[in-house]
A and B are shown apart, each in its own frame.
Chain A
């Protein structure tokens, strides 16, 4: 709370000093714009659709990353084939992929695709390492006591990898959100937060640019908070 008051005061002072809405609008002006935006149905539609697109990409990336982690940890051939490819995807700049994706698919799909592309390597790397680090002594115990595949996965593998897996998902959700919004700015789907950010910049509506940025930040915090809470609850549950 103290930090918020401090930074808002600093922002107000800076805005007062600059005295140009175009360069740095005051917090009050941004808040007014935000209130105005909240009163418009298009605002809520854009926020909901951006969330839907990016969360769809996040879910797809989680499934793909999980699947690839299991396959590359289990089969050497899959590891040889996929590990270098995933590492390349991870190090390639987001902008390169956005431009390529624009050539390959419809505008509305690009943000989801980008979110997926950001999430997959993070989930893959963390889960693959966690699977490979599962205690071999516990696996031997499971073998001796004839757990079988399903019980070994349920009682040994899942609890062993749950913590790093949850941490990777918490990191990935933030990255998916940021890359998804960046993709929206470049590919301009009809109703999207990124599209509104772009037009605010084009029409030099700086208070609107700030207001939409605040929306992105607030939604990001909410998403990460909600996700962390969900994962904490899941981890508390006994296996």
Chain B
């Protein structure tokens, strides 16, 4: 379970969360749907422990969180395969090629990120997040820049996850594709839509 109670967070003068409270479930897929810039990514960053709230409490019942960022954040000096391998322990490195192949990147294992298309980079970032494991998966706009056919393929991979998955999106279509619960958000400051 992820629980935020009266959480306040601002970037300088810009209030992003104002006494915001929410409980997110510890199973299945939960889509956090809201317009761009409403504070969804800040919410993820708070859950992942990358930033701390100025006020309020956050409790996260998960030890290891895997986070697919809004940006690909691939290491440009490592190939697609090496980027995924980098998050795996030494005895599990063989998994990297398998996951990339499942996401349709079997022919791009040794391609360097600058030579990959936007969609391919997104898939490598997803492969890395899936490979890392963890007991909670956070996906921030995982389908950005992807063709509809590819989105369906990735959605089916995400649905297969046995751990809870929280997905940030601003598209109703993506919510439909993923199924699961939907939490509608608005802001800033971030609020639950009635």
Which A residues fall within an 8 A CB radius of B?
137-138, 140-141, 143-147, 151, 155-156, 159, 238-239
Contacts and interface: CB of A to CB of B under 8 A. Distances in A.
A52 to B, nearest CB: 35
Contacts of B64: 146
Nearest to B51: A140
A140 to B, nearest CB: 6
22 contacts: A137-B69, A137-B71, A140-B50, A140-B69, A140-B73, A141-B73, A144-B48, A144-B50, A144-B65, A144-B66, A144-B67, A145-B86, A145-B87, A145-B132, A147-B86, A151-B86, A155-B78, A155-B86, A156-B75, A159-B75, A238-B78, A238-B79
A146 B133 CA distance: 12
B193 to A, nearest CB: 29
Given A137-B69, A143-B50, A239-B78, 17 more contacts: A140-B69, A141-B69, A141-B73, A144-B50, A144-B66, A145-B86, A145-B87, A145-B132, A146-B64, A146-B87, A147-B86, A155-B78, A155-B86, A159-B75, A238-B78, A238-B79, A238-B82
Interface of B: 48, 50, 64-67, 69, 71, 73, 75, 77-79, 82, 86-87, 128, 132
Given A140-B50, A145-B87, A151-B86, A159 B77 contact: yes
Nearest to B67: A144
Contacts of B66: 144-145
A137 B41 CA distance: 14
A155 B69 CA distance: 18
Contacts of A146: 64, 87
Contacts of A155: 75, 78, 86
A151 B75 CA distance: 12
B173 to A, nearest CB: 28
A142 B65 CA distance: 13
Contacts of B128: 145
A145 B138 CA distance: 12
Contacts of A239: 77-78
Nearest to A235: B77
A146 B71 CA distance: 18
Nearest to A239: B77
Contacts of B69: 137, 140-141
Nearest to B75: A155
Nearest to A137: B73
Contacts of B71: 137
Contacts of B50: 140, 143-144
A151 B83 CA distance: 12
Contacts of A147: 86
